[in-house]
Amino acid sequence: MKKFSLLVAVVSTILFAVVSNAEVRFVTSNADSGEGSLRDAWFASASGDVIEIQEGLEILLDSVMSVTNKTLTVRGLGSGAKVNGQGKTGMFFLRSSWGQKPVLRFENITFTNGYAKVGGVIVTDGGGTQGS
């Protein structure tokens, strides 16, 4: 029983250390880029970070957003948020590199007006997505 308890304590400590290093970034602007934008938070984020979008915000993308070798959670707060491709762009591209695969998790986000010749809202060359 002591070995099991020690293992649980070690795993819990490691998980806490990993989770506590995650940073939460806030999106407060519907602009495609600049301070407070999704793109700004996206590029400033490290793997494991969480991006939270202000409730009711509709983000207007001018071009696709690409992620390589990161695991990110993008969450709409409250009643949710929207990402709008304005009928002129795809939205997200997940790019694998050096055998590592990016993972995106979307929560409480609605995607509208995306455009792509191939694929859909999210195009991937091997990464993964999760939605809820």
Helical ranges in 21-109 per DSSP H: 38-44
Q: What is the mean pLDDT of residues 107-126?
A: 80
Q: What is the mean pLDDT of residues 95-122?
A: 80
Lowest mean pLDDT among 6-15, 23-32, 43-52, 86-95: 6-15
pLDDT in tens, 13-41: 334 444 557 899 999 999 999 999 999 99
Contacts with 113 (C-beta within 8 Å, 6 or more apart), sequence order: 84, 85, 86, 87
Number of H helices, E strands in the chain: 2, 11
State the chain's mean pLDDT as an integer.
79
Exposure b/e, 59-82, CB count within 10 A at least 16 = b: bbbeebbebebbbbbbbbbeeebb
